[in-house]
Amino acid sequence: MVLPRGIRQHMLKSVWEVRQGRIAASVRQVIRTKNQRKSTVTNLGKATKMEEVWESICRKLKRLLTFQKSVSAQVRDLEKSMTAAEKERAKHRMEIMMSEDDDGVDQPRDQKHSNDSSEEEHQKFDPYPETSPASPKGHPHAARPHSTATIEA
């Protein structure tokens, strides 16, 4: 609630028995605080810029003294290693696919998955992998029968 100055001073003097000198000192302190806030807001842009420059200098000196790479250089190195790992994975997958294709090159496709092939080859091609004997009970697809029959092309 905002009170006019006269009413405020009358209340302070009569009800609270505050002297005029004390009121004047409080008003001066309020004015001083307002002026400090204004100057802080005015100088904030300059001080902030100087603080950022100082922090940047400190970070660079720390990297220099600890022989640490800059963040952008670290990111570049990580991206290179990630790309190399992806290439290696792709190469490995290609080798696996090529070796699987080479297994039945001399045989026609229908003989590749014939009934006389080993159980190990049947496990390689599982049309319903989620219904394998190792799947947990209560799995939504567990009701499907696990077939070991071969698929002929």
Least confident of 29-43, 45-59, 86-100, 126-140: 126-140
What is the model's pLDDT at position 71?
86
Query: Who contacts 103 (Cβ-Cβ below 8 Å, separation ≥6)?
Result: 112
Match 């994975």 to its residue by tokens.
89
Whole-number Å distance between alpha carbons of 122 and 128: 12
Chain segment 87-140, per-residue pLDDT in tens: 999 999 999 999 888 775 555 555 544 555 555 555 555 555 555 454 445 545
Residue environment code for 94-105, b if the CB has 16+ CB neighbours within 10 A, otherwise e: eeeeeeeeeeee
Q: DSSP letter for 5, please.
A: H
- Over 80: is that where the pLDDT of 75 sits? yes
Query: Who contacts 150 (Cβ-Cβ below 8 Å, separation ≥6)?
Result: 113, 114, 115, 117, 122
Q: Which among 83, 148, 84 has a CA at the least distance from the CA of 113?
A: 148
DSSP string, 14-34: IIS---HHHHHHHHHHHHHHH
Tell me if 141 sits within 8 A of 131, measured CB to CB. yes
Query: Who contacts 143 (Cβ-Cβ below 8 Å, separation ≥6)?
Result: none
What is the model's pLDDT at position 153?
46
